[in-house]
Chains A and B, each alone.
Chain A
Amino acid sequence: GQNIDQPTEMTATEGAIVQINCTYQTSGFNGLFWYQQHAGEAPTFLSYNVLDGLEEKGRFSSFLSRSKGYSYLLLKELQMKDSASYLCAVSGDTGRRALTFGSGTRLQVQP
C-alpha cells in the first residue's frame, strides 16, 4: 500500500526558516514532489526529488533520503504570501503514473 505522513499544521514567523517533514511508505519509488496550494486554488509545483540529497530553488529547498523514506521542504526568509498548504506527493510504481498525496501541511506565517 501507499502511506504518506506530514504534520497537519505549522506556524512560523515572517523572515524565519521553516522545515516541513514528510515520511512515506510506497510500493516502488519514482520521485517525490512538493506542491503549494493556497486556499481555493490549484496546487502549484514546487520541487521534485528522485535522487538522495538537497535540491535548492531560490528560497525553497527540498531534501530526500530514499533509504529512510523521508523528505523535507525548507522555506527560507518566510513571507506572508507563503501561508498556504504544502503537499507532499510520491510517484510509486512505474506503471502507475498517478501521484499519491499526503494530507498536506497548513503553514501559517505570522508577522
Chain B
Amino acid sequence: GAGVSQSPSNKVTEKGKDVELRCDPISGHTALYWYRQRLGQGLEFLIYFQGNSAPDKSGLPSDRFSAERTGESVSTLTIQRTQQEDSAVYLCASSIQGAQPQHFGDGTRLSIL
C-alpha cells in the first residue's frame, strides 16, 4: 500500500527484554517521526528524522530508547530493558520534507508484562 507501515502491530514481552519496532514511511517522505500514546492520553513526541539524521531527539524519555533510520527510508525504534511504564502504542508518521501534514501508521501496541 501507499501508507505508513509499522510492524509488528502488537508486541507482548516480559519486563527487562529489548524490543525493536519498525516503520516504513511513505515513499518520498524524507521526514519521519516517532510518537508514543499511552491509554487514554494524547500523542507524546519521541524523535524526528530528516533524512537519516535526527535533529530532534528531545522526546526520548531515557537512554533506554534509541532510534535509527537508514536509506532515508525504514526506521527502527529500540527500547532496551523494557519497563511496564513503556506499555503504549508507538506511532510512526512521515511527511514531505519541510511540509505538513504528517501521515500516521497504525502503530505498534506494546505490552510489557
Residues of A within 8 A of B (CB): 4, 31, 33, 35, 41-45, 48, 87, 89, 91, 95-104
Name the CB-closest residue of B to A41: B106
Residues of B within 8 A of A (CB): 4, 31, 33, 35, 41-45, 48, 50, 55-56, 58-59, 91, 95, 100-107
- B95 / chain A contacts, CB cutoff of 8 Å: 97
- Assess the B107–A97 pair: CB atoms within 8 A: no
Q: What's the A-B contact tally at a CB cutoff of 8 Å?
A: 56
* Docked pose: A94 CA to B49 CA in angstroms: 15
Q: Apart from A42-B4, A99-B43, A103-B41, what are 20 other A-B pairs with CB-CB below 8 Å? A: A31-B100, A35-B104, A42-B91, A42-B104, A42-B106, A43-B43, A43-B91, A48-B101, A87-B42, A91-B100, A97-B31, A97-B48, A97-B50, A98-B45, A99-B33, A101-B42, A101-B43, A101-B44, A101-B45, A102-B42
B contact patch SS = strand
- Assess the B104–A44 pair: CB atoms within 8 A: yes
- Assess the B48–A98 pair: CB atoms within 8 A: yes
Q: List 9 A-B contacts (CB under 8 A).
A: A35-B104, A43-B104, A45-B103, A97-B50, A97-B56, A99-B45, A102-B42, A103-B41, A103-B42
